[in-house]
Structure 1
Amino acid sequence: MRRNMGLCSVSGGRTMKRFAPVASAAILAASLALSGQAAKAADVSFMSFSYAEEAAKPSVDALLKGFEAQTKLTVEPLGYAWGDMQKNIFLRARSKTLPSVAQLSERWLPSFANVAGLVDLNEVYGKDKLAAMFAPDALAMGQVGSKQLALPLISGSIGLIANKAVLEKAGVSKTPTTIEEFRSALVAVRDKVPNSVPYTMATKNNGSILLDFMIWTWTFGGEIIDEQGKVKIGNADAGKQALGFMVGLMKDRLAAPEIDRPDARRLVAQGASAFLFDAPQARTHLRSFSGQGSAFDANVLPLATPIAIAGLEPASIQWGHLLVQFSSTGKANADAAASQFITYLTSDEAQSKFPLEQSALPVTKSARANPKVAGDAFLTAWAKAAGNPRRNEVGIWPNAAELTQIIGEEVQGALLGQKSIDDSIQSMQKRLETSMANVIKQN
């Protein structure tokens, strides 16, 4: 183990054979041969959506080079788009070609909790050592029950971001703090910034639609599913108010169809939108898509989500990227090549660079204490605007993928005028209840 990590195997000094997924290597080698590329065996395979992102790929490459230089072990990066990651991990699980390590969005973890070969990292490093090393909020994202099924890579929240230059062009001098002020700002942008999408609300990709709908549901004082698994969205007016608000924005051209998070980032970066919901990592994407690099930072303003009910805390969602480890037996120790890779990614060396390059918070206590983090005005403003982020109340359930699909379909049906607001909410309630009944029965 690397000394700067402070982690050690709970299995004592025994060295465990490195996991080298033979089936995975054979299939990947065959695939590369068919495509005319030279196949090269690697000690670790890393499946990553950041590696597939133009803005993040250079930082991931730097991580891989740093690990290889320090350990003399090699890494094969496998880049997949964010929206394709879950599907491809499940496909690889069925074909027994899982990577050594994979990057997940924090809300996906419950969906993978029962995948064969997933390693409980408490058994690799020791529960007490992990608790001493990681910030509690970051470590909690990787926990399912009593197991530590993932370790955090970067952390933050999903919150509101404004483009100050667009607001100035629209004559909006006061940042909105209420729903009424927010809507007025959107109208000003629509009327004074030609060809703009004032708020790039997610209107395609169920995973993205869920986040916007969840934030607005909380804003109007509602819940989708409570902590006991009871579906609440159709039992109060908040869900209808939230969906009605979103439908009204579409109807009045304050939002637009066919918008996903990548589209939102591009529109904001190009001065064609004033607001989007995103993670702090959006700053890095905006730098890239604007073509201005860090000079674009002057336009990026983290905001508290406007409130609809006086006294209610502005809504935001816990967010982060996680690292999971797979082995043929579901067991590993800290000497395994994959374990050493995770060790490096969560070391001070990596955590003092990668999260900041992605405009996110480091996950370890020591890295968060670094003056570079405390002195980052954007991250300081983000933390202030985020308040107390709430856990994704859909993503924590093992049937999260199905729940997300149901919510996305019903919200999109209303946004496109295919269903009434009442019909969408009541259908959502019934479909979610059916899905959750199966989960509760299994438990």
Structure 2
Amino acid sequence: MDLKALHRKRVLTPWQAQKPLDPPLVVRGEGVWLYDERGRRYLDFSAGLVAVNLGHGHPRMARAIAEQAATLAYAAPSLFHDKRALLAEALSQLAPWPEGGRVFFTPSGTEANEDALKFVRHLTGRFKVLAAYRSFHGATHGAAALTGENRRFPAEPAIPGVVHFFAPYPYRSPFYTEDPREEVARALDHLERVLLHEDPKRVAAIFLEPVVGSNGVIVYPEGYLQGVRELCHRHGILLVFDEVMTGFGRVGAAFAALRFGVVPDLITFAKGVTSAYVPLGGVLLREGLAQAFDEVPLPTGHTYAGHPLAVAAGLAALEAYREEGLWERARAMEGFFRSALEELQRAHPLVGEVRGLGAFYGLELVKDRASKEPLSPWHAPFSPAMQALLKALFQEGVYLLAKHNVLIVAPPLTIREEEFLEGVERLSRALRRVEVEVG
């Protein structure tokens, strides 16, 4: 049976036109490698969708999932469950609040952001929420309304009450400056003006990815997150960090909030909490907020909230991260990762900028470094050059997540130095092919 043909015939692939698709048919994974049905291997240089932090086929994860399946495969969310309690306690211990917090488990990051939206409106009695234009928070109607980029368009008209603002983007400053300090000052002034025009007393929360994820891996200049925190505090607005991508070691700490020393009121998470072995997300609320639900019903719920297989996988993942020192390793390897990618940039004029931290990097591709014209336009299908590059990457045996004109290099935290360098070399060969084609 031709399984690739069957897949093309019966499966709808997210966010893409179906007819031209021709990715590998992967059937197995081991470490940082994926294998197709013919045995050819591909370096998973983006950890799936920046999710498989432990790499593929981790024995602790397989064992924990199998043991839980044999013990209890489902328990209603209204029941207490041993591993739900243990994982919630472990996550509370990781949170940046001295008093700890509580967890509401969800099936994914999208639902986590949907539920955080319900929480902040309920907790504040306010209706409006703000989110950045260059952001992605999920694809369902509430999460899509929070999303600022073009993946929100199919959900429009979206739910009311969401207002977008521009955040710093130093490489393509929306504030007409090349000075990071001026970028921060102008961005915070812009945000305060938006708040004043919307009436801050009507704003429940600001949702923010502490490092922009699939929209370019943009690390905000120093002082911006601190400034947003101060604005929220001054106006009684809750600050929500969407750490679906940045959580669980991706930026060299349990959460980006800890890496940057900026304390939000809520954290949404998913992906790395189970290393994507089983779908699981959630909302962490600081204890002072969670207490509001002690006497009134929690205003949300899901059939698969805290699914036993998922929370068992989450516990196993946290144990593996800790025992293997992977979060610390991502921080220690940061200089090595950056150096290798900056050497790639020097060799290839298509690479306009390398940015990121920990084990999370974006390569912004341009036709011309001086003009910064994107290799593929914003809010449009991939350009022929970008399509050629993605095809060349598969031919070189590399999987890389791409969005617009940005490649996201975010390998499993278990990657060895020689494997990372091999991935960079394969990427270099793919870039060289496209550079020849585009002249």
Relative to its length, the structure with more strand (as a share) is: 2
**TM-score (ref. length: structure 1):** 0.27
Relative to its length, the structure with more helix (as a share) is: 1
The structure, 1 or 2, with the larger RCO (C-alpha pairs under 8 Å, 6+ apart) is: 1
**TM-score (ref. length: structure 2):** 0.27
